[in-house]
Structure 1
Amino acid sequence: MTAPATIVVVEDDAEIAEMIAGLLRAEGYLVHTAGDAHALGAVLAAVRPDLLILDVMLPGEDGLSICRRMRAASAVPILMLTARSDEIDRVLGLEMGADDYVVKPFGPRELVARVRARLRRAADPQPVSRPNRRYAFDRFVIDLDARQCATAEGEEVSLTTGEFDLLACFVGAPRRVLTRDFILDKIRGRGADPFDRTVDMLVSRLRKKLDAASPGTALVGTVRNGGYLFTATVKPLT
């Protein structure tokens, strides 16, 4: 019999924290709560979570800082809680390594569905061996497994988590018009807000970094009323 997943909820509003904890416990999960970074440290000293639900607005060290620190030391799935108006926080959360986010106020079904999806993805067994997933495009080389992108001369292109996921999406579908909804589904999963502007912001940042690494690069085109088009030819490397 499989042991229930352990979830840590970091939320300074005690009422919201207990609501979330009660909801998840009713689904059979083991849940611990913490009101700030200090309390989270005490919880992590005692348990090893399978998922972290992390509010952005916390007293002392905020959720974005905690997310960045956690991601540097752990691959535990992180689900961010953000306010509806704080789009920049959602983008920053994804770039700092969060796996997903839920916008407040949220429905119980939405939260449970996202928790299940993240736990399911984390539990998927990895294949023992996989074919090499290195590709060349324009004047760049991308390694999807190592999550690295570099120029043909070997100069690394420093990309955030969100920027790399976006580039990987483009590399996987070159010379095809990709709608914002398609891209959002690939980098955030099903159920993402169709009005989310995350894609546009990430495209802008990715364009700037690719152009800075190789001036004159114009690999991501905008298609009016369509989405985005990755214009480069992508070739697998052996």
Structure 2
Amino acid sequence: MAPPYTTIKDFTPVSSAPPPSVPASVRVLLVEDDELIRHSFATSLARYGYTVTAAADGLEGLELFRAAEADTPFDLLLLDVMLPGLDGIGLCRRVRESSLVSIIMMSARGDGLDVVAGLEAGADDYIVKPVETGVLVARIRSVLRRADWKATSGLHTAQPAANELLIFGDLTVDTVGMVVTLGGRPVALTPTELKLMLEFAAHPEIVLARHTLLRNVWDHGWEADTRLVDLAVQRLRKKIGPDRIETVRGFGYKLRR
């Protein structure tokens, strides 16, 4: 039986008619040094309709990412933490220097420092290995929905109406144009950070629980890891100012006017 891909690096969709929820143009860069895991993930994602390019180490992954940026950029990066040459954390940081592409980190140590380091580096989500294919695909779809939501919402080009602008001092949130400015200058936010910012802006001075944010921003249920929220808020504070989002101990966060 022929394998569902063309080469070890390019895992093309098995069928010419992928599931409706997965456009044929969705491209995933998978960087995983374990050959069996790499092959298993790439083959599984190909069966769901994704086009997967696979790399065995961080430096190769960075090279593939940069080459694609000049032609057809990837829609999602799936990065293992423990990689030879350049680890997944370092790779994530290098990518974030020039791109807001969606990133999911993978780690076999879900309760270790890997999770925190990956999210601090700019990852949108993380997965603990081993992981079932259905869970992996669900998490990928969730991250891609946020990116697609940002792209389709950002098509608004007309001058925004007053009620489309939420103003908090020198911080302005255009809820239709999907643009956040600080002191008149655009703030570069990942799709996850932007959706988090919009959630806060829609409820100023209201305390939002971590699990509420997990549901509304990440599409995760009650059992999800609240570190996703804490680290995303930390990154957002670095971009819009450390005092704008207040921690309400034991409850959650709120945006100050």
TM-score of the superposed pair, with normalisation by structure 1: 0.71
Deviation track 1:121-171 (CA, whole Å, cap 9, x = no partner) reads: 43452423263665433x552446444445xxx8x9x99868776554322
Query: d(CA) in 2 for partners of 1:171 and 1:104?
Result: 35
Q: Structure 1 residues 78 and 210 mapped into 2: Cα distance closer, same or farther (>3 Å)?
A: closer
Letter in 2 for 1:101: Y
Aligned residues: 221
2:74 is the alignment partner of 1:33 = no
Q: Give yes or no for contact 1:207–1:220 (8 Å, CA) kept in 2.
A: no
Distance 2:238 2:24 in 1: 46
Question: In the alignment, what sits opposite 1:59?
Answer: 84
| Unaligned 5+ runs, structure 2 | 1-16, 18-22
Q: Is the alpha carbon distance of 1:207 and 1:63 closer, same or farther for their aligned partners in structure 2, counting shifts above 3 Å?
A: closer
Cα distance change on mapping 1:120 and 1:60 into 2, 3 Å: same
- 1-10 or 108-117, which deviates more: 1-10
Whether the 8 Å contact between 1:140 and 1:149 is mirrored in structure 2 is: yes
1:106 maps onto 2:131 in alignment = yes
Q: Name the structure 2 match of 1:183.
A: 213
| Residues 49-128 of structure 1 aligned to structure 2 (within 5 Å) | 49-82=74-107, 83-86=109-112, 88-124=113-149, 125-126=152-153, 127-128=155-156
Tell me the distance in 1 between the aligned counterparts of 2:77 and 2:165.
31
The offset of 1:184, in angstroms, is 2.5
Matching residue within 127, 136, 141 for 2:167 = 136
Change (3 A) 1:20 1:38: same
Q: Partners of 1:208 and 1:75 in 2: how far apart?
A: 16
Larger RCO of the pair (alpha carbons < 8 Å, separation 6+): 1
State the TM-score, normalizing by the size of structure 2: 0.66
Q: After TM superposition, give the deviation of residue 104 of structure 1 in Å.
A: 2.1
Q: SS where residue 116 of structure 1 aligns? A: helix
Instruction: Provide the identity percentage.
Output: 37
The structure 2 residue matched to 1:172, chosen from 187, 202, 211, is 202
